[in-house]
Structure 1
Amino acid sequence: MKKIVLAFFLVCLFSCGDYIDRPKNLLTKEQMAEILADLSINNQVAYMYTNSNLEAGTRFILQNHKVKKDDFIESFRYYVVKNKMNGIVDEAQKIILKKDPKAEKYVNDRRLKNNIPPIGK
């Protein structure tokens, strides 16, 4: 009986090597960073102008990047489970700062407040 339980445990252990399979249409980290940067800007616009349509802006961004909603969601989920989102988010912040250099002081102040090193350091 012990051998059966041990065999079952080993089969389960080695068969569950990955929590998630790689999506068929996985977006690159660079694509994800560009989309997240645009989505962040869109989110700020929706926050500032409460009558704006966040969903329409999101659809426009995905169409502009020629990405399907399901591909983005699957890629996002994959990178989160694989613990690779930090690098993607950092790259998205750099893209935002290239678009608006005045935001760098604000972003770096917020990062320091949360014990995160400033961007570019």
Structure 2
Amino acid sequence: MKRFILTFILGCLFWSCSKSIEKPENLLSTEQIETILTDVHLYQQPSYLTSLYNQPINHAKIDAQILAKHQVSSKVFEESFKYYVLQPEIFKEILVNVRKKLIEKLPQEERDKINSEKKSKDDSKN
């Protein structure tokens, strides 16, 4: 009986963990998510300076403005974001691309510095 109960519990756990993730009806493309997340990260940068200016930043308002700029509802973004977060391989690629887009927005001097640091790090591995 104990073996049956243990098998049943393990089977339920396996079944619940192996459920397929359903795509939301209005799933945003990975490119759309990347662009929105890039904007979110760009507009969060001033929050690091709030201690200098002593002015609180309303992140919810900024996020709403970013979504409006991209003509995406918060519900569609949230559902798409959850979908991609639950797929680590895809989400990792999204984050890598967001990082690349952020680096592209840096001044050339900063990009050169990052590239040289990356190259020296890669050389030291070999």
TM-score with structure 1 length normalisation?
Answer: 0.69
| Residue type of the alignment partner of 2:96 | D
Q: Deviations over 1:43-99 (max 9, x none)?
A: 112222362322211111000011111111111111111212110011111111121
1:19/1:81 contact within 8 Å kept: no
Partner of 2:92: 86
Give the alignment partner of residue 106 of structure 2, picking from 91, 100, 110. Answer: 100
When you count helix as a share of all residues, which structure comes out higher? 2
Give the greater-gyration-radius structure (CA).
2
Higher mean displacement: 9-18 or 97-106: 9-18
Q: Deviations over 1:21-58 (max 9, x none)?
A: 11011110001111111111111122223623222111
Higher mean displacement: 51-60 or 102-111: 102-111
Partner of 1:70: 75
Matched, 1:60 2:65: yes
Unaligned segments of structure 2, at least 5 residues: none
Distance 1:93 1:73, change over 3 A: same
| Residue type of the alignment partner of 1:23 | P
Q: What is the Cα deviation at residue 16 of structure 1? A: 6.8
Say how many residue pairs are matched.
113
| Fraction of identical pairs, as percent | 29
Q: Structure 2: how far apart are the matches of 1:87 and 1:105? A: 23
Matched, 1:21 2:22: yes
| Residue type of the alignment partner of 2:38 | A
What RMSD in Å do the two structures reach over aligned CA positions? 3.2
TM-score with structure 2 length normalisation?
Answer: 0.66
Distance 1:106 1:19, change over 3 A: farther
2:104/2:111 contact within 8 Å kept: no
Unaligned segments of structure 1, at least 5 residues: none
